[in-house]
Structure 1
Amino acid sequence: MEWKSSTALWRSNWNTAGRLARLGVHSRHGGLQCLQPCLLPHQRSASTGSKILVEMDNSTGIAVLTMKSPPVNSLSLDFLTEFSISLEKLELDRGCRGVILTSVRLDIMEMYGKSPEHCGEFWKAVQEMWLRLYGSSMITIAAINGSSPAGGCLMALACDYRIMAENPKYSIGLNETQLGIVAPFWFKDTLVNTVGNRAAELSLQLGLLYSAPDALRTGLVDLLVPEDKVLSTASQTMTQWLAIPDHARQITKSMMRKPTVDRLLASREPDINNFVSFITKDSIQKSLRVYMERLKQRKP
């Protein structure tokens, strides 16, 4: 990743929340479209490719990962690979203590009409994304500025804290059963760890997509704010987390999450094989096709 500094001059007393709030604007697709920011000398900007913009503020230790995979910021194989590389580099950056992520959703086309080899590569990339995010020593906050079904919900669940926009058009949940597929055990474990066993059972069996208020009541998200306040609130919340000594927080986080991470690490290959065997079945491919056709019919 090549980091670059800007020479643009801004007032030195401009606070962090204000800077972060100006990094993006909401698009009609429900995602976050990044404006070209003017950075202070202590800020660094890097694009690891065409799908993710990484912006690091050295003065705060906060990085913002803005997803740029239009039109709906989908979790494609390329995106997942790029995301894992970006997160790994931030993890190795001693100056980075926290990461704010914007919302994404799973790319169904990565599972439809693809070869077993491609499906295997895709699922390995999904695993890698979750392992790096759920097991990260950094503070991770999800800024949910759009609908986050399936893999997008998983990414949010893998974060330490979730802030969602109050918008009646947005929903979040592990809705895999609606597509005719089954959420793997580590999806289930992550959800159970967040909302409890009974709520997770109902959510997974019914493939529920929750509105923002319902997601808050269920415990799927931690805070609802007006849409134009999501990113700035994430910055303010991050400041509260940064006040905790890193070593104590990191050990506590590892203690809570390591058993869940270890379960997948012990069975990555069997999990990939199970996914490929399941997703390439004719009946499952038919279910995916029917679901995609329904989505097309909903579009104006």
Structure 2
Amino acid sequence: MLSRISSRPLHSLPLRSAACGASGVYGRATAPTRKLHHDRRAFHSQQPRLDSSPTFQAHSRVTSPSPLEATSNASAVVVNTDPNTGIATLTLRNNPVNSLTTEFMSEIAAAVQELSAGYPDVDGGARALLVRSECKAFSAGLNLESIAGASEESLRPLSLALRKLVLAFLTTPLPTVAEVTGSAIAGGAVIAMLCDQRVGLNDAKMRIGLSETSVGLPPPRFVTALAEDILGKRGAYRHLMLGSLLSPEDALTAGYLDAVHADQTSVSSDAQSRLTHLARIQAHARYSAKLQLRRSVFWALGEDEDAFVAEMWELVSDPRTQEAVGRTWEELQKKKRAR
């Protein structure tokens, strides 16, 4: 009785005009006449080389390991591909709450890129991607410790890893569904929102939302654009400004989730069904639609990685940000010590 299915299809996400994305809405002037194929080529060209990422080779698995292998692998990112369905499952398990460190984000990005390579032309390769968590949270986002007291030097690799993670999901031609069975907060919500669809567990203890402002951190431009794409203009205005953290039912109403279910089995079944349906759609047509629908996020992210790093540093280094984030971090540490 608790299971609810949203009728929001992928193509119902709002698509704004090029003029809007190119205006000062996101603080960056971009030529509105830029062609879609140029966007795709430019952003793919900035992806890190897969063969230069030893982290992926050492810590994740793209084959189909036995249940024993999957359980014994101690990596933070594990990928299993079902040879029968072609659905690859990317499991996040950076205990305890999948905090987004530089290394963890780099692993996730490399895994998504590896799975995407050659699609849809590689026989036996992944045909769709399911993102799930093995931890108590889907992801709690960036660790505030990495923000509080950050230097320009220490923030750069974190910013670059975040950018590569976002681009990996934005540019993958694979259909993607997030299985959200734990809290998805700030950057954790971003990962879920970057997927084509999101299915959640109706757990009263879970919270989902872009909570950056609630801890004193101004959202980057791409987060604002992503919020508008998924939540709509009014929803983004409401929830991003407030830093709202919502229950699964409220997250469904807001648009963070496309469906919620009362139990894990139903969540998994629905996620698999959605991936199967998405994978049946002609790949080129579906991928082209995805790139067009996400164009405002591309533009807000920008083509220049140094400019993105500079934007992140400007946001983080502001004394008001440091004071607010530092205070929140100290409060969290006090609560942790009191347990």
TM-score (norm 1): 0.81
Partner of 1:274: 311
Partner of 1:80: 105
Partner of 1:213: 249
How far off is 1:4 after superposition? Answer: 5.3
Partner of 2:128: 98
CA pair 188-169 structure 1, distance change in 2 beyond 3 A: same
Partners of 1:274 and 1:248 in 2: how far apart?
34
Are residue 134 (structure 1) and residue 164 (structure 2) matched?
A: no
Q: More deviation in 56-65 or 78-87? A: 56-65
Residue of structure 1 aligned with 2:225, choices 166, 182, 189 = 189
Aligned amino acid, residue 184 of structure 1: P
How far off is 1:87 after superposition? Answer: 0.8
Partners of 1:74 and 1:141 in 2: how far apart?
20
Q: Which has the higher strand share?
A: 1
Partner of 2:96: 71
How far off is 1:215 after superposition? Answer: 0.7
Partners of 2:330 and 2:242 in 1: how far apart?
20
Counterparts of 1:1-300 in structure 2, within 5 Å, are 1=57, 37=67, 50-93=75-118, 94=122, 95-102=125-132, 103-106=138-141, 107-229=143-265, 230-296=267-333, 300=339
Instruction: Mark the runs of 5 or more structure 1 residues left unpaired by the alignment.
Output: 9-36
Contact 1:4–1:46 (8 Å) recurs in 2: no
CA pair 295-227 structure 1, distance change in 2 beyond 3 A: farther
How far off is 1:243 after superposition? Answer: 2.1
Partners of 1:72 and 1:45 in 2: how far apart?
18
CA pair 45-63 structure 1, distance change in 2 beyond 3 A: farther
How far off is 1:165 after superposition? Answer: 0.8
Q: Which has the higher helix share?
A: 2
How far off is 1:141 after superposition? Answer: 0.5
Partners of 2:152 and 2:286 in 1: how far apart?
41
Partners of 2:62 and 2:312 in 1: how far apart?
37
What RMSD in Å do the two structures reach over aligned CA positions? 2.3
Aligned residues: 266
TM-score (norm 2): 0.72
Instruction: Mark the runs of 5 or more structure 2 residues left unpaired by the alignment.
Output: 1-56, 133-137
How far off is 1:297 after superposition? Answer: 5.1
CA pair 286-226 structure 1, distance change in 2 beyond 3 A: same
Contact 1:46–1:55 (8 Å) recurs in 2: no
Kindly indicate whether structure 1 or structure 2 has the higher relative contact order, using CA contacts under 8 Å at least 6 residues apart: 2
CA pair 253-4 structure 1, distance change in 2 beyond 3 A: closer
Aligned amino acid, residue 250 of structure 2: D
Aligned amino acid, residue 87 of structure 1: V
CA pair 5-129 structure 1, distance change in 2 beyond 3 A: closer
- Identity in percent: 27
Aligned amino acid, residue 238 of structure 1: L
Contact 1:77–1:110 (8 Å) recurs in 2: no
The alignment partner of 2:218 has SS state of: coil
